[in-house]
Structure 1
Amino acid sequence: MALIVKNNMDSVNALKELSKNEKSRNKELQKAATGEKINGAGDGASEYAISEKMRVQVKSLDQDDRNAQNGISIFNVAAGAVDSTIDILRTMKEKAIDAANDSNSDADRAIIQKTINEAISQIDENALVSYNGITMLDGSFNSAVVEGGTYTHLTNERLSSETTKDTPLIELKDRTGNSLEIRTQDRVVLSWVKDGETITKEIQPLDFVTTERNPEYWSHNAAWRRAHPEVKPYNEVTKPYTLDLIIADYAGDDLEVVDGSEKGYSYVGTDQYGEEVRTAGGENAITVKAKNPGIDGQIAGFTIAVYDTDGKVLKSATNALDSFVETIAAQNSSEDNALVFQIGTKANQALKAGFRDMRSTALGLRSSTDANQVLSVSTQADANAAINVIDSALQKALDLQTKIGAQTSRLEYTSSNLIMSSENTQAAESVIRDADMAKVQTAYARDSILTQAAQAMLAQSNQNSSSVLSLLQ
């Protein structure tokens, strides 16, 4: 072998191996220090990009879960306030039933009225419940309501499905086809509550006299009419009252009758989204509708009672006629102000929750124009009407409570799914990025030994070159 001093290739090769082993050892040392086999794009470009996306996904899912948990907290606060309102309405119904009993004097009813007044004020307090400054039950965060607002619709599915608005009262039948046995000489009492005021009308007998054109008179010329003075241009005719005619004559400023048969199916009306509402049973039914939309036009309760000539209640007729249940609630026109809970990692992956107005005015318990005008139980008739009003208010509260409960349940499922997704994504990211510490330690020990060996060989190769000096002495 030639002896050279300018290019010591053995030393160069040993230095190269030493550098390579040191770099490898340093990488293994970094892996051991971080616990990750991918510490940068240089360790694996595609793996690094995938794992970074997964890390973003995990953080996003964790934030979604926090959003869901905050949403559950908001729902729980709202549900608590609605629960309180439901309890108050239960008590109010108890008091109204008490006031409807004639064992109470007017003085007793006045005391009960004070209790009712305080209960209604507390319902308004409940509606102001808030979370982080968000007042939820005052209508501020309602879902969209069609322009102009919705009308109160009260539907009766206890009457025969063949009943139309032109069916005479004395011919009415129940759902099973049995006659209600209403007679012309009976008395009907209508009661409804609008703007906190109870309005009562009595109709007896159940027919009326009107005039109609006499076709015989109008079919002849003037000469014939003069020759027959006994033939009158108009005849008096007795007609039976129908529900439509009673409403038109006695409550026409506030109410009208909607007959689903006019549309050929079980039509009731249109809801807050402008969509058609049909009867629950899918059959034709009679609906009483408020003449005016929104809270100002709201009809909070509608009562029909039938009495015979002795003043006794006709139970079968009253039970069938006094079964008008609110199918569409009156709401003011509103934009979509529902709360939005972002529960997904993509834009618009969200849950929207609207809270309807739960103040006493929206429940029909207080006038929207006069705060001092509240639901009355001051008389036996008022108390009877108040029972249906409170039932309607209870239904509104229960509907909202059911909706809140369903959305809370959904968010709980969503939270569980988000937690599972986060764990699974993190596990997948771990497979790509986390280091096997046993392999890292083994590789580090190997590279440390190789580095030490390379250092020794570099020293030896440098020593070998120094032997050339002996030739130069």
Structure 2
Amino acid sequence: MAMTVKNNMPAKRTLNELDRNAKAMQKDLAKLSSGLKIRSAEDDASGYAISERMDVQINSLEQDNRNAQNGGAMLKTAEGAMQSTVDALRTLKEKAIDSANDTNTNEDRAIMQKQFDQIIDQIDDNAMTTYNGKVLIDGSHNDGITDVATHMTNQNLAEDTTGETSLLELKNRNGEPLRMESSDTITVSWVQNGKTNTVNMPMMHETKTYNDDYDEFDPNSQEYFYGTASYNVNDLIQLAGGTWEYDDSEGKSVLSGAVVELVQNDDSSYIGQNGFGVDVHTADNTAGITFKAKTAGIAGQISGFTISINDSQGNPRKDVNKALEFTTTIFAENASEDNAITLQVGTKANQAVKAGFSDMRAEALGLKTPPPVETLSIATQSDANAAINVLDNAMQRVLDQQTKTGSIQNRLEYTSANLINSSENTQAAKSTIADADMAAQMASYTKNNILMQASQSMLAQANQNSSSVLSLLQ
């Protein structure tokens, strides 16, 4: 090997090795101190991109979980307000049942009415419950719906019952005759916007039918046939607000002006359409008799409909009255924009749970009228009897909404558990890609440290070798 002094190539090569070892050791130190195998795109470009996307996903999942938990807290607040309303309705029904008992005087009922009114006011207070400034169950956060009329259905009567079936021919669901008599009396009570209305009628009503054979030149002829007939099912329903008038087109006396009407459809299980435009049928898809309020929305809702048949002695026909019970199958709603609360629980757009709250104010529950306010009455025995059905319907309405809210709460619990699991699995996947194997990294650091020390020693030796040239120059 030639002896040179201009270029010390052994030292140059040793210095390069020293520099490489120093850089490798610096990387090892950085990975050991951060615990990351991939700290930047320089370490692994594709691995870094995957790791960063996973990091964004993990942060998003954790925020989604916080959203779900906050949503659950909001729903819990709304459900608590509904439970308070259920408790209030329970007390109201107790008062109505008490007032319906004739051991009380009207003076006693007047006292009960005062307490009754205060509890109804409390229901309005419950509806104003807020969460983070949002009023929850006053109808301001309802789903997007159209105007809906009250629909009430009876499935206690025989399946072949129609609107034209005479009350004297009615049968129960088992096909057994109800055995009403022409001497019976009918009481129909309906409550509209908290106001109780009652009509009392005999089982038979006068009929007037035009005589087509009437001869205007015969003074002894009758222009009309007069007689009596029993009410049919349609007549019974239309007693709510209806009055008897002669109809030229029908050629006979008919009820007109009723606030309700029979639902006519070829499918006997059909009830009507809800606010979402979805057809509603009886739960078991068997026949039923359904009527609806003629006016849709809260203003026209029928919050209670009670039929009482008494015999000629004034005693209630219990089996008949039970068979003539109508229950609310579609509740009245005012048209509303879609103001439901959206709970973002996914990492992508539109991955959300929506929670809509129906109007739970006393007016919407049928317990009071719009201003000037008139509350549901229990001031008389008949009013109290009618109020019982109103409170049953109001209770059902609140429980339906409470059940819906509870189901969303339950769903959010599952959502939260899934988000936690997804976050954990994504974190594990990121760890596989980006986390440093500390044992392997420490072994690499130790190796590079030794190599660096060796390089330093060899650099000193290479520099020393160049000085041997001086012995030739002496």
Separation (CA, whole Å) in 2 of partners of 1:139 and 1:73: 19
- 8 Å Cα contact 2:142-2:339 kept in structure 1: yes
Amino acid at match of 1:176: N
CA drift at 1:269: 1.1
Map Cα deviations across residues 53-102 of structure 1 (whole Å, 9 max, x no partner). Answer: 11111000000000000011001111111111101111110110000000
Task: Give the gaps of 5 or more residues in structure 2.
Answer: 243-256
- 8 Å Cα contact 2:129-2:136 kept in structure 1: yes
Output the TM-score relative to the length of structure 2: 0.94
Separation (CA, whole Å) in 2 of partners of 1:254 and 1:40: 78
Separation (CA, whole Å) in 2 of partners of 1:116 and 1:434: 68
Map Cα deviations across residues 337-359 of structure 1 (whole Å, 9 max, x no partner). Answer: 00000000000000000011111
Decide which moves more: 34-43 or 460-469.
460-469
Q: Hey, what does 2:435 align to over in structure 1?
A: 434
- 8 Å Cα contact 1:244-1:256 kept in structure 2: no
Q: Hey, what does 1:374 align to over in structure 2?
A: 375
- 8 Å Cα contact 2:206-2:226 kept in structure 1: no
CA drift at 1:250: 4.9
1:183 to 174, 181, 184: 181
Q: Hey, what does 1:31 align to over in structure 2?
A: 31
Separation (CA, whole Å) in 2 of partners of 1:348 and 1:254: 46
Separation (CA, whole Å) in 2 of partners of 1:409 and 1:360: 27
1:235 to 211, 225, 228: 225
> Is 1:196 the counterpart of 2:197 in the alignment?
no
**Counterpart of 1:63 in 2: which secondary structure?**
helix
Map Cα deviations across residues 224-275 of structure 1 (whole Å, 9 max, x no partner). Answer: x578665545433433311212343552345323245x32241111101111
1:8-27 alignment, distance < 5 Å: 8-27=8-27
**Counterpart of 1:151 in 2: which secondary structure?**
coil
- 8 Å Cα contact 1:165-1:243 kept in structure 2: yes
Amino acid at match of 1:91: T
1:275 to 267, 274, 278: 278
Separation (CA, whole Å) in 2 of partners of 1:102 and 1:231: 52
Separation (CA, whole Å) in 2 of partners of 1:250 and 1:404: 34
1:251 to 222, 241, 260: 241
Q: Hey, what does 1:222 align to over in structure 2?
A: none
**Counterpart of 1:193 in 2: which secondary structure?**
strand
Output the TM-score relative to the length of structure 1: 0.94
Separation (CA, whole Å) in 2 of partners of 1:447 and 1:145: 72
Q: Hey, what does 1:452 align to over in structure 2?
A: 453
- 8 Å Cα contact 2:240-2:260 kept in structure 1: no
Q: Hey, what does 2:245 align to over in structure 1?
A: none
Q: Hey, what does 2:123 align to over in structure 1?
A: 123
> Is 1:141 the counterpart of 2:144 in the alignment?
no
Instruction: State the aligned residue count.
Output: 460
**Counterpart of 1:42 in 2: which secondary structure?**
coil
**Counterpart of 1:41 in 2: which secondary structure?**
coil
Q: Hey, what does 2:83 align to over in structure 1?
A: 83
> Is 1:207 the counterpart of 2:205 in the alignment?
yes
- 8 Å Cα contact 1:209-1:236 kept in structure 2: yes
Separation (CA, whole Å) in 2 of partners of 1:23 and 1:428: 29
Could you tell me the percent identity over the aligned residues? 50
> Is 1:319 the counterpart of 2:322 in the alignment?
yes
Amino acid at match of 2:87: D
Separation (CA, whole Å) in 2 of partners of 1:400 and 1:56: 37
Amino acid at match of 2:438: M
CA drift at 1:45: 1.1
